[in-house]
A = this chain, B = another copy of it.
């Protein structure tokens, strides 16, 4: 059996906020100390991770003086260097402070929007200083409980204005940084604007420079709405917009759980790893999750190790699936093409249209033919269970 031991080449990353989560929730107080960034860098390095990601305030308190800020950042950079840990992605906390209670980029109050821009410019500077090449935007507060209060059309315009401003800010500074927008349907707001990866992909096309903006889909967020995560990721990937990804697990139709990757919906997790590996997604595999509130620090590291280990086990399953003769035989049969017809459909011409219109296709026969999907799905389950 392979040892499933992660190495930096696997490009596994964790947010400072993930191992740093102290186990507070809406109904309970923290259960453990917040693990410090320095401790986390050291431990993740030992566990085989590639990097850490951060919100500005995961590292630097919102009310730090410039001197404190510089001291903290210098210390953190030393730890990164000492342990060979990268910071591939950074982001801004635009949700914890009460000023953002009705949104940051979509606040009705221009002062709040200006503050959000100010804070994000500083946080971008910080991210770039730490080496980040991807900048994530998760607009946790960009939503509403009272839709009568805020015109959703205005909200989108404000959001676009801010994103455009920041695109130019990055260009103006000559930063090598791409934006990855992250959707979530609700929580902490009643509803969040641009609720899914799909909405985000559409919004990106309306920005001044869509080429520098992609998405950061998160397993839990799409599953909260009961959507098929793999489908959404595939759409982003096919559009060349899969700039980053947040891996975790979630039971559908409930609060944001941020569970250990692979701990729910093993078939979905397998199909996701399959998509990423088959299409050679080059970016980090970022785990945006946290340990259960039942855990102490040891449990936090078990959680981190488990995320990576399950990814590697599933990657091995993908290899087996792709090498299984019976499965591949079924797939070849299922996916058999027809060069003539495909030629006709690939590009329109009046002749092709006439040819298609004139085709005599056996509607009844095709309706009766079995697709063998029960067989294929059962074999997939058996690969997953290690029963083949």
A313 touches B253 (CB 8 A): no
**What 0/1 pattern do residues 122 to 158 of A give for CB contact below 8 A with B?**
1000000000000000001100011111111101110
Within 8 A of B (CB), among A91-139: 95-102, 108-115, 117-118, 121-122
The listed residue with most B CB atoms (<10 A of its CB), out of A121, A164, A225, A346, is: A225
**Choice from B62, B111, B149, B336 contacting A371 with Cβ under 8 Å:** B149
A378 touches B234 (CB 8 A): no
**Choice from B147, B266, B375, B382 contacting A271 with Cβ under 8 Å:** B147
What would 27 A/B residue contacts be, using CB atoms closer than 8 Å? A1-B387, A29-B97, A97-B363, A98-B368, A109-B366, A111-B338, A111-B362, A121-B356, A145-B292, A148-B274, A149-B334, A150-B334, A187-B255, A194-B198, A195-B227, A199-B201, A199-B232, A202-B235, A202-B239, A296-B369, A297-B370, A298-B372, A299-B371, A306-B374, A306-B377, A314-B385, A386-B387
| Any B CB within 8 A of the CB of A254 | yes
**Choice from B155, B295, B356, B382 contacting A374 with Cβ under 8 Å:** B295
Q: Which of A69-77, A80-88, A256-264 contacts B (4 or more CB under 8 A)?
A: A256-264
Residues from chain B with Cβ under 8 Å of A380 in the complex: 146, 148
Within 8 A of B (CB), among A154-191: 155-157, 161-162, 164-165, 167-169, 172, 185-188, 190-191
Given contacts A26-B25, A296-B368, contact A110 B231 (CB under 8 A): no
Q: Report Cα–Cα, A287/B230, bound state, in Å.
A: 28
| Any B CB within 8 A of the CB of A326 | no
The listed residue with most B CB atoms (<10 A of its CB), out of A110, A113, A157, A275, is: A110
| Any B CB within 8 A of the CB of A265 | yes
Residues from chain B with Cβ under 8 Å of A46 in the complex: none
Given contacts A95-B27, A234-B152, A260-B374, contact A353 B188 (CB under 8 A): no
Known contacts A121-B353, A264-B265; 5 additional CB pairs below 8 A are A145-B377, A198-B198, A263-B377, A292-B374, A310-B385
Residues from chain B with Cβ under 8 Å of A147 in the complex: 228, 230-231, 271
Chain B residue nearest to A138 in the complex (CB): B27
**Choice from B26, B141, B193, B252 contacting A187 with Cβ under 8 Å:** B26
Chain B residue nearest to A310 in the complex (CB): B381
B195 touches A195 (CB 8 A): no
A267 touches B267 (CB 8 A): no
**Choice from B168, B271, B291 contacting A148 with Cβ under 8 Å:** B271
Within 8 A of B (CB), among A347-380: 347-348, 350, 352-353, 356-357, 359, 361-364, 366-378, 380
Number of copies: 4
Size category of the binding interface on chain A:
35 or more
Distance of A266 from chain B, by nearest CB (Å): 5
Distance of A211 from chain B, by nearest CB (Å): 13
**What 0/1 pattern do residues 219 to 245 of A give for CB contact below 8 A with B?**
000001111101110110111000000
Pick the 9 closest A-B CB pairs, nearest first: A386-B386, A198-B199, A98-B367, A296-B370, A201-B202, A168-B348, A198-B198, A152-B234, A191-B228
| Any B CB within 8 A of the CB of A11 | no
Q: Report Cα–Cα, A188/B153, bound state, in Å.
A: 32
| Any B CB within 8 A of the CB of A64 | no
Chain B residue nearest to A250 in the complex (CB): B190
Chain B residue nearest to A164 in the complex (CB): B348
Residues from chain B with Cβ under 8 Å of A262 in the complex: 381
Chain B residue nearest to A361 in the complex (CB): B115
